[in-house]
Amino acid sequence: MPKEGIPSFQSTINIASLVQEACTAVACAAPDCHKDEIAHLMEHVLPRIQLEDFADTPVNTRGYRRKVLYAHPSGFFSVLQLEWQPGAETPVHGHNAWGCVGVISGEIGCETYDRCDASEGGVRSNGKITAGAGAVATVNPNPEGIHRLFNPTDKVATTLHIYGMDLSANPCAVNVTYGSSAHRN
C-alpha cells in the first residue's frame, strides 16, 4: 500500500474490491473520520470502478434508479449505485448519516439549502453547482447539508454513494425530506 493507505489500483476495480478497502478504512479510523476516509478512497477508485448492470431495476417517478450494492453487516456503511435519467431529481433532503457521492459518468447538479422559517418546507436555496465524472462530495448528517441532486443534462449520469448506515432493508431510510414533496421510491 502507498503511504496514504490507499492501494494502488493498476486496472479496473470491482465493487467487491471497493467494499474490502472501505471495510479496512472504517476499521482503521475513528468513527468521526469514516466519511473523510471513504471520500479519500472514492477519489482513488472512481476512475477505475466497474459497476454492476442494473437495467432490471426500475426507474422511479423522479427519473432515477438506485440499487444497494452492499450493506456492512454491522451497519457501518452501505454502497449504492444510482443512474439518473435526463431531468431526474431528488426531493430536497438531508441525511440520517454521513455520506459520500462520486460521479462515475455524466454530470450531476446539486442545489444546497439553508433552514429557515419563511419559505415552503423551512428551507431556502443558497446555490447550485454541477459536478462531472471523478468529482467526490461529502455530506454531514441532518440538519447540515440539506440539498437536492439532479441531472441537468440530456444524457444519463451514474453516481456511486456510500452512506454511514445500513440501507439494505430501505435505501430511502437515509433521507430526511423537506418541503411538500415526499421522497418517493
What is the β-pairing status of strands 13-14 and 49-50?
parallel
* 95 annotated to a ligand binding site: yes
Cα–Cα distance list, 90 to 6, 47, 50, 150, 154 (Å) = 32, 25, 25, 6, 17
* 93 annotated to a ligand binding site: yes
Q: Would you say 179 and 119 are in contact if contact means Cβ atoms under 8 Å apart?
A: no
Cα–Cα distance list, 24 to 61, 77, 182 (Å) = 36, 12, 36
Identify the bridge partners of residue 95 per DSSP, sorted by sequence position: 175
The angle formed by the CA atoms of residues 118, 178 and 72, to the nearest 5 degrees, is 150
3-state secondary structure 117-140: CCCHHHEEEEEEEEEECCCEEEEC
Q: Would you say 162 and 22 are in contact if contact means Cβ atoms under 8 Å apart?
A: yes
* 183 annotated to a ligand binding site: no
Binding-site residue set: 93, 95, 147
Binding-site residue set for Fe cation: 93, 95, 147
